[in-house]
Amino acid sequence: MPKTLADLRSRRWFSASDMRAFAHRQRTQQMGLRREDVLDKPIVAIVNTWSDLSPCHAHLRERAESVKRGVLMAGGYPFELPAMSLGEVMVKPTTMLYRNFLAMEVEELLRSLPIDGAVLLAGCDKTTPGTLMGAISMGLPSIFCPAGPMLNDRHQGKTVGAGTHTRMFWDEMQAGKIGPAEWVHLESRMTRSPGTCNTMGTASTMTSMTEALGLSLPGSTSIPAMDSAHTRMATACGERIVQMIWDDLTPQRILTRGSFMNAVAVQMALGGSTNAAVHIIALARRAGIELTLDDLDAMSRRIPVIANLFPSGDRLMEDFYYAGGLPALMNVIAHELRLSELTVTGKSVGDNLRGREVLDAEVIRPLTQPVSQGGTLAVLRGNLAPEGAVMKASAANPKFFKHRGRALVFDSQPQMQAAMLDADLDVDENTVLVLRNAGPVGAPGMPEWGGLPIPKKLLQQGVRDMLRLSDARMSGTHYGSCVLHISPESAVGGPLALVRTGDTIAIDIEARSLELLVDEQEIARRRAAWVAPVQPYTRGFTKLYQQHVTQAHEGCDFDFLQGAAPTPEPVIY
Ligand code: FES
């Protein structure tokens, strides 16, 4: 039902003739607003994850001004609301610890203030799911304005991408192939401008999936952060949200199981980050929609990787933009999409895709010439991962798709890091490296420790990949044969806690299995003797997190935030 002025949520704050509404109007006039600005217009929140310590969001203050211009032109009134800025690289111990914090903050910002609709300005790995989770739970019309990827860069004539090449060059330095002067020079390369990582890491995976969900403007995801088209897109977001408010176009009307399957299809065609497996399930649960790891695995088996982007391919997001961006890619896999799903444009996915063709078939490949036929993501199960684990098959070495090896187990990240430098470490290229106590509760926050480094002595022998297992996550920009998100995690007694150095571990990607080859009686003995690790967190947000976070296969949301039941509106007095 279209809304009238009298239906606006903000009217509850501003329109009454009592003392409280007087005070609300008075305080906006205190800031220089006219009486009619809040009485006669929809109020738009611009939720901004900018901060001086968040390079991916460094330009969002300026973009907020563009959004405001769009809101004003469309007859709304904008208010910019700062929200926790989670720049992936600086925030410790891990941004994942704070994704739910941001989600709660966004939900409560929108609930507690006189807001009719929201533009979400975000884009780094956790700010996209964090802001969306909050907006979905609050249920106001919302549009996502992606921060946009940083510009391409080159080093010694070769394309280099954020994250992916950092790890590559680090391994080369450990192997003695890069000297100190080049290493220092590389600090100024790969990250050429503000904006999100220019590889198909978690940031671009999540913003692309958001666009596929129908929550951002078609084609907005791949626009480089520093392109003037990005500024125009931000203005368009501001303009669009005003009409969305009048049309009452809420996330609940846009999000369906079909739209989530569209997002999953896009993840697979892009060779997207494994982190999306956690975030998309969390988002679906916020919307009250059933989505499981099995849905992701089934889609991965059907859709090959067709985006030639690091780490699965060899191009960057700017190339993807020139090649036609996400709408062009979605047209290639249109037969797998639910084209009738509604989007923020007020039109269907199919309407939005019309006429958006591939402009460079080397970057967005036809289905007959995929980057990887094997699929993006494999969901593994077995006695080591009863609730599932994931592996980015498109960025792994096929030699480990069927493998048996001797486990070398580490109980903590510092222990593992120190061992990697040990010239006498008992390890060879067939060893299976295992890291535990790195999951949602154990670490806590499930950091990106799952791309375990290769032991230095093997790097020097030319080894660049090994089979690695953990209950942690891995950066979406990284690559390697890493089994991640093992669930349930070791810190809550999952089977990973029972592995010992010297055990044999078997993996079979085609069969989707991950097994600890130890007899059941021995496993039962170890389980009986297992003691949960002592946790030092006795107060604060981390304590709350450990008490309420769900496991990886459930999305790592807080148990009390899942589900579609709305929290009651605040009493206005
Ligand atoms: Fe923010 Fe990669 S660090 S997008």
Pairing of strands 504-508, 142-146: unpaired
How far apart, in Å, are the Cα atoms of 561 and each of 85, 104, 120, 136, 414?
21, 8, 20, 11, 33
151-155, 204-208, 217-221, 463-467: range with lowest mean pLDDT = 151-155
Q: Which two tokens stand for residue 420?
A: 């990697």
382 phi and psi, to 5 degrees?
Answer: 160, -170
Is the distance from the beta carbon of residue 197 to the nearest atom of ligand 1 less than 6 Å? yes
Cα separation, 391 vs 379, in Å, equals 7
- Ligand 1 contacts CB of residue 291 (under 6 A): no
85, 127, 196, best to mutate for ligand 1 pocket (most atoms within 8 Å of CB): 196
Residue in 94, 128, 197 to alter for ligand 1 test, most ligand atoms within 8 A of Cβ: 197
Nearest CA to ligand 1 atom 3: 88
pLDDT at 476: 84
Q: Is the pLDDT confidence value at 567 over 80?
A: yes
Q: Is the pLDDT of residue 168 over 80?
A: yes
Distance CA 107, CA 133 (A): 8
Ligand 1 contact via 557 beta carbon (within 6 Å): no
pLDDT score of 362 more than 80: yes
Ligand 1, atom 2, lies closest to the CA of: 197
243 lines ligand 1 (CB under 6 A): no
d(CA 550, CA 349): 32
**Bridge-based pairing state of the strands 513-516 and 504-508:** antiparallel
Distance 61 CA to ligand 1 centre (A): 17
Query: Which segment of 56-70, 376-390, 471-485, 496-510 scores lowest on mean pLDDT?
Result: 471-485
Instruction: Kindly tell me if the per-residue pLDDT of 278 is higher than 80.
Output: yes
pLDDT at 115 over 90: yes
Q: How many helices (H) and strands (E) does the chain have?
A: 21, 14
CA of 87 to the centre of ligand 1 (A): 6
Residue 161 pLDDT level (bands cut at 50, 70, 90): confident
CB distance 490 to 436 below 8 Å:
yes
Asked whether 122 and 143 are in contact (CB, 8 A), the reply is no
More confident call, 122 vs 1: 122
**Mean per-residue pLDDT, 73-79:** 98
Residues 6+ apart with CB under 8 A from 278: 446, 473, 485, 552, 555, 556
pLDDT of residue 559: 96
Query: Can you tell me the distance from the alpha carbon of 16 to that of 38, in angstroms, rounded to the nearest whole number?
Result: 12
Cβ–ligand 1 distance for 116 under 6 Å, the answer no
Q: Write out the two tokens for 487.
A: 């669930």
238's tokens: 């501001």
Q: Is 80 exceeded by the pLDDT of residue 309? A: yes
Give the pLDDT of residue 143. 98
Distance from Cα 54 to the centre of ligand 1, integer Å: 9
Question: What number is the average pLDDT over the span 264-287?
Answer: 97
Ligand 1 centre and the CA of 163: distance in Å? 8
**Band of the pLDDT at 394, cuts 50, 70, 90?**
confident
Instruction: Tell me, in angstroms, the distance from the centre of ligand 1 to residue 44's CA.
Output: 27
Residue 373 confidence class, pLDDT cut points 50, 70, 90: confident
Q: Rg (Cα) of the chain, in Å, rounded?
A: 24
Residue 534, by phi and psi: left (phi above 0), alpha (psi -120 to 50) or beta?
A: beta
Q: Print burial letters for 256-275: b (CB count within 10 Å at least 16), e (below 16).
A: bebbbbbbbbbbbbbbbbbb
Paired tokens of 42: 């929809």
In the block, which residue shows the tokens 């969002």?
60
- Tell me if 469 CB under 6 Å of ligand 1: no
Cα–Cα distance between 237 and 239 in angstroms, integer?
Answer: 5
Question: What value does the mean pLDDT take over residues 378-405?
Answer: 95
CA of 197 to the centre of ligand 1 (A): 5
What CA–CA distance (Å, rounded) separates 186 from 191? 10
- pLDDT recorded at residue 163: 83
Q: Among 49, 85, 86, 88, name the best residue to mutate to test ligand 1's pocket (greatest count of ligand atoms within 8 A of Cβ).
A: 88
- Is any atom of ligand 1 closer than 6 Å to the C-beta of 494? no
CA of 225 relative to ligand 1 center, distance in Å? 12
Give the mean model confidence (pLDDT) for residues 202-215.
98
- Of 211-220, 241-250, 364-373, least confident by mean pLDDT is 364-373
Assess whether pLDDT exceeds 90 at residue 145: yes
pLDDT of 566 reads: 82
Whether ligand 1 lies within 6 angstroms of the CB of 140 is answered as no
Q: Tell me what pLDDT residue 230 has.
A: 98
Considering only residues 564 and 318, tell me which one the structure prediction assigns the higher pLDDT. Answer: 318
* Confidence at residue 162, expressed as pLDDT on a 0 to 100 scale: 87
The CA distance from 485 to 554, in Å, is 11
Q: Which of 59, 124, 191, 273 to mutate to test the pocket of ligand 1 (most atoms within 8 A of CB)?
A: 124
Computed over every residue of the chain, the mean pLDDT equals 96
196 within ligand 1 shell (Cβ under 6 A): yes
pLDDT tier for residue 174 given thresholds of 50, 70 and 90:
confident
Q: Ligand 1 in contact with 83 (CB < 6 A)?
A: no
Q: Which of 125, 190, 310 to mutate to test the pocket of ligand 1 (most atoms within 8 A of CB)?
A: 125
Q: What percent of the chain has pLDDT over 90?
A: 90
Quote the CA–CA distance of 480 and 451 in Å, as a whole number.
7
Place of tokens 């009592």: 18
Q: Is the Cβ atom of 203 under 6 angstroms away from ligand 1?
A: yes
- 287 CA → ligand 1 middle, Å: 26
Q: What is the mean pLDDT of residues 541-552?
A: 97
Whether pLDDT at 549 is above 90: yes
- pLDDT higher than 80, residue 167: yes
Alpha helices in 354-513 (DSSP H): 413-420, 456-460
Tell me the pTM: 0.96
Find the range with the poorest average confidence among 108-122, 187-201, 354-368, 432-446.
Answer: 187-201
> What pLDDT, on the 0 to 100 scale, is given for residue 565?
80
What is the 3-state secondary structure of 351-393?
HHHCCCCCCCCCCECCCCCCCECCCCEEEEEECCEEEEEEEEH
Smallest CA separation from ligand 1 atom 1, residue: 124
Work out the average pLDDT over 359-366.
98
Q: How far is Cα 58 from Cα 89, in angstroms, rounded to an integer?
A: 13
Can you tell me which atom of ligand 1 is nearest the CA of 201?
A: 2
Q: What is the dihedral of CA 188, 190, 196, 202, to 10 degrees?
A: -130
pLDDT in tens, 458-500: 999 999 999 999 999 998 888 899 999 999 999 999 999 999 9
Q: 151: CA distance to ligand 1 center in Å?
A: 13
Tokens of 509: 């990607």
What confidence category does residue 29 fall into, taking pLDDT thresholds of 50, 70 and 90?
Answer: very high
